[in-house]
Amino acid sequence: MNFQQLIKQDEVQPSRYFSGKVESFSNLIESIQKKLWQDPQYRSILKELGKGKSVQDHSLDSSSQLLLFKDLVVVPNDPKIQLSILQKCHDSLLAAHPSQEKTLKLVKRDFHWSIMTQFIKDYVASCKQCSRKNNIHHKKFGFLKPLPIPNGPYICLSMDFFTQLPL
């Protein structure tokens, strides 16, 4: 997915990033509510919950009328809404472009959607500011394990190979 095209379509306004205030999620909540009813995956769950039946791990928030999955807001399969959530959790001044793991933890605190992990990894990998900062986007390295002390000379030989040296 090309996130740069989605961002251009959204027409991001610079004043949004430099306003110094925390934006409300009211517009986001309204768009989630509308799109949930349009998503065939969640429409049947919403109908069952509306009838008063229980659906495994799902509930309906009485105040905001949002579908919850294990107390997390369910986000419909709409890349624009998902992108909006990521922009608030990754690009905002308060978030300050955290790594893939931290962005995933931030989003997973409040939201749930299918293939969330891959979507977030792709988004952070395509973030221009993160690539400028050269954040580490991989799993942490394991601990170093020292070699055992040899019992005599020439029992253990090791070599270091240097490749692609600059000219």
Range of the domain at 67: 3-133
Instruction: Give me the number of domains the chain comprises.
Output: 1
Q: What pLDDT score does 118 carry?
A: 92
Q: What pLDDT score does 7 carry?
A: 60
Prediction pTM value = 0.62
CA atoms within 13 A on the CB side of 165: 3
Residue 161 lies in a domain: no
Residue 145 lies in a domain: no
Between 136 and 49, the more confident residue is: 49
Residues 115-138 have a mean pLDDT of 80
> Does pLDDT of 2 surpass 50?
yes
Residue 81 lies in a domain: yes
Residue 95 lies in a domain: yes
Residue 119 is part of a domain; what is its CATH number? 1.10.340.70
Q: What digits encode the pLDDT tens for the residues 25-43?
A: 678 888 888 888 888 888 8
Pairing mode, strands 72-74 and 111-112: parallel
> Does pLDDT of 121 surpass 60?
yes
Residue 148 lies in a domain: no
Residue 106 lies in a domain: yes
Residue 141 lies in a domain: no
Neighbour-count burial of 161, counting CB atoms closer than 10 A to its CB (0-12 exposed, 13-18 middle, 19+ buried): exposed
Residue 156 lies in a domain: no
